[in-house]
Amino acid sequence: MNRKRLVLNTSSLLLNVVMIVGLVMIGNAKALGTPDASIDEMPLIVNSDQIIIVKEIEVVEKDVFVSELTPEMEAERDEFINNPEMTGLEEEFCLAQNIYFEASIDNLAGKAAVANTVLNRVAVDGYPDTVCGAIHQGERDANGNMIRNRCQFSWYCDGKSDVVPASENWEESKALAWDMLNTDQYRGLAEGATHYHATYVNPSWSRHTDMTEVGRIGAHVFYRWDA
């Protein structure tokens, strides 16, 4: 526990304020999300010109991927996180890539909403019926190659490498992708949304009469196609 002390003096009144802040971080390899903070404050009057205020702030990181998993499921989850391209879990890998490239720096809700959008597309007519198919959907040239910048999810045909570098964001994306496809966590968060865009853009398709805005979640605005 680290403690910091700050003393403030004024010319008109000798006032010493001592702030003691305790910070406790509890986490594990899968701990993600915004921590909860509980604050207990107790002012102590020492004498007429000195006040000591003690604040204890305890921050506890949550394991946001908690689920009732069997030992076999936990083993598969861990194996996927360690080896995301393992045979048989291609859908998880595609979803993890999409979460990473579309929302790697977003908060948990934003990441989950982006993943939900993919799963919503898979579930409705007019889109491919697999996760990888929905994510890789786009226009192709006569040779079957993706046409640059003509994909449903821009990262897949933006001309840049799709190899994901090792990072905490990639670890989080893999864990969330597995959970989304193997548990009922975070499902329904985007309320049936099939489209989204970053908050800093305003694409013309978002103003289509058949688009119903679901709302902002994290760094994106989500829409449902109600045609």
| Three-state DSSP class for residue 49 | coil
On whether both 30 and 92 belong to a single domain, the answer is: no
- pLDDT value, residue 115: 98
| Residue stretches of the chain with pLDDT short of 70 | 1-67
Q: What percent of the residues of the chain are helix, what percent strand, and what percent coil, each to the nearest 5?
A: 30, 25, 45
Q: Tell me, yes or no, whether 212 and 145 share the same domain.
A: yes
Residue 40 identity: D
Whether residues 111 and 181 fall in one domain: yes
Is there a single domain that holds both residue 51 and residue 91?
no
User: 127 and 56 in one domain?
Assistant: no
**Do 150 and 95 share a structural domain?**
yes
Do 50 and 90 have their domain in common? no
Say if strands 16-26 and 50-60 run parallel, antiparallel, or are unpaired: parallel
- Please tell me whether residues 41 and 89 are part of one structural domain: no
79-126: pLDDT as tens digits: 999 999 988 999 999 999 999 999 999 999 999 999 999 999 999 999
**Does one domain contain both 38 and 128?**
no
pLDDT at site 67: 54
Does residue 25 fall inside a structural domain? yes
User: Could you tell me if residue 66 is inside a domain?
Assistant: no
Q: What is the pTM of this model?
A: 0.69
Whether residue 8 is contained in a domain is answered as: no
Q: Cα separation of 66 and 94, whole Å?
A: 22
The reply to whether 121 falls in a domain is yes
**Residue whose C-alpha is closest to residue 118's, from 96, 140, 139:** 96
> Residue 216 CB: number of other CB atoms within 10 A?
13
Residue 76 and residue 56 share a domain: no
Name the residue range of residue 168's domain.
71-225
Burial string for 103-115 (b: 16+ CB within 10 Å, else e) reads: bbebebbbbbbbb
Is 210 within the bounds of a domain?
Answer: yes
- For residue 215, the model assigns a pLDDT of 96
Compute the distance between CA of residue 94 and CA of residue 132 in angstroms, rounded to an integer.
Answer: 5
Cβ atoms within 10 Å, residue 197 = 14
What tokens appear for 11 in the block? Answer: 């010319």
Whether 140 and 50 share a structural domain: no
Residue 177 lies in a domain: yes
pLDDT number for residue 223: 97
Question: In 10 A of CB 10, how many CB atoms?
Answer: 7
Residue 82 lies in a domain: yes
* φ and ψ of 42, to 5 deg: -140, 105
Which of 60, 94, 113 terminates a domain? The answer is 60
CB 42 within 8 A of CB 7: no
Q: 86 in a domain, yes or no?
A: yes
Look at the chain and report how many structural domains it folds into: 2
Using CA atoms, how far apart are residues 152 and 154, in angstroms rounded to an integer? 6
- 151 and 202 belong to one structural domain: yes
